Amino acid sequence: MRRSLLPLIIALAASTASAQSQPKMFASGDPAAGKALSDKDCVACHARKFDGNATRIYTRVDRKVKTPEQLLAQVQYCNTELATHYFPEEEEHVAAYLNLNYYRFQP
């Protein structure tokens, strides 16, 4: 029985650690939910802008987003421009995903 709980405990600890490492403005965001939204609505647009390489928007040297506030503002801007109709908590999910995987802003 103890062995079967170990993966669950590890997963719970990892999700808690990632939530704690997020800036307060999107600390309640769920990176997994943000990835699903990003894959569905963001990747194609970014790929068109960067010759098929959607992640280049986050990794380019001259990227515009330099603070957690700018990241959330950019997600909100894209939400409006693409008319995805995300709720504020969904914008937080996307920001949490992007921060965890590309920006790594600290709390």
Determine the average pLDDT of the residues in 45-74: 92
97 vs 102: CA distance, rounded Å: 8
- On the question of pLDDT at 67 being above 90, the answer is yes
Report pLDDT digits (tens) over 88-103: 999 999 999 999 999 9
Q: Give the residue-averaged pLDDT of 43-62.
A: 91
Total-model pTM: 0.78
Burial of 70 (0-12, 13-18, 19+ CB in 10 A): middle
User: Is residue 69 pLDDT above 60, yes or no?
Assistant: yes
Rounded mean pLDDT of 23-38?
93
Residue 7: enclosing H or E segment and its boundaries? Answer: helix 2-20
Q: What is the mean pLDDT of the chain?
A: 86
pLDDT higher for 102 or 22?
102
